[in-house]
């Protein structure tokens, strides 16, 4: 049992940062990303004895993380929005806004399935087949979701910062 825990802790130390970054790209919020990683790590720990023998820990952890993100995005309490008359004051970042911030804001506007597909294909650099296996769908679905997601990202990014600011 101690060997199991030690191996799991070693894995978490090595992969937690990568998982957190991927989770952030999936949900667009660092706090939610941390929650997603914690939930995923709990599920991974339960399956740890089987995973060590199989040797597919990274693939399984990606799959769990993506499915957890999609499940969380479907919950009703995540969908509630509060409409306010004025935006809260947010201190301006020094210098120009980095392009990655624009991409992340645009990425958050994609539906969960398209966002997961785009993140897995282009951030995690997985093949169409690997992405389809992780998401539990066909390769055709991955291709169409990636195409739609990229088209939406291009449209949002081509419109510039004002569009991204308005839709936030």
- What does the pLDDT look like over 126-163, one tens digit per residue? 899 999 998 999 999 999 999 999 999 888 888 765 44
Domain 2-78 has CATH 1.10.1740: yes
Percent of the chain whose predicted confidence (pLDDT) is above 70: 77
Residue 104 pLDDT level (bands cut at 50, 70, 90): confident
pLDDT for residue 93: 53
* Predicted confidence (pLDDT) at residue 101 exceeds the cutoff of 70: no
pTM for the model stands at 0.53
- The tens digit of pLDDT for each residue in 71-98 reads 887 765 555 556 677 766 666 555 445 5
Fold of 99-166: Arc Repressor Mutant, subunit A (1.10.10)
Instruction: Name 52's Cβ contacts closer than 8 Å, sequence gap at least 6.
Output: 4, 7
Sorted by where each begins, the domain ranges of the chain are: 2-78, 99-166
For residues 19 and 40, the answer to whether their CB atoms sit within 8 Å is yes
């Amino acid at each position: 049992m101690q060997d199991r825990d030690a191996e799991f802790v070693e894995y978490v130390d090595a992969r937690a940062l990568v998982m957190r970054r991927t989770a952030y790209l999936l949900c667009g919020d660092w706090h939610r990303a941390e929650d997603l990683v914690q939930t995923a790590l709990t599920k991974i720990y339960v399956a740890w004895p089987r995973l060590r023998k199989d040797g597919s820990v990274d693939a399984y952890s990606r799959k769990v993380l993506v499915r957890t993100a999609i499940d969380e995005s479907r919950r009703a309490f995540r969908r509630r929005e509060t409409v306010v008359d004025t935006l809260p004051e947010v201190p301006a970042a020094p210098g120009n806004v980095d392009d990655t911030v624009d991409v992340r804001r645009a990425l958050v506007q994609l539906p969960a399935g398209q966002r997961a597909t785009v993140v897995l294909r282009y951030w995690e650099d997985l093949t169409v087949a690997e992405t389809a296996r992780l998401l539990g769908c066909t390769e055709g679905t991955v291709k169409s979701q990636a195409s739609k997601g990229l088209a939406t990202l291009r449209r949002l990014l081509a419109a510039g910062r004002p569009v991204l600011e308005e839709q936030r």
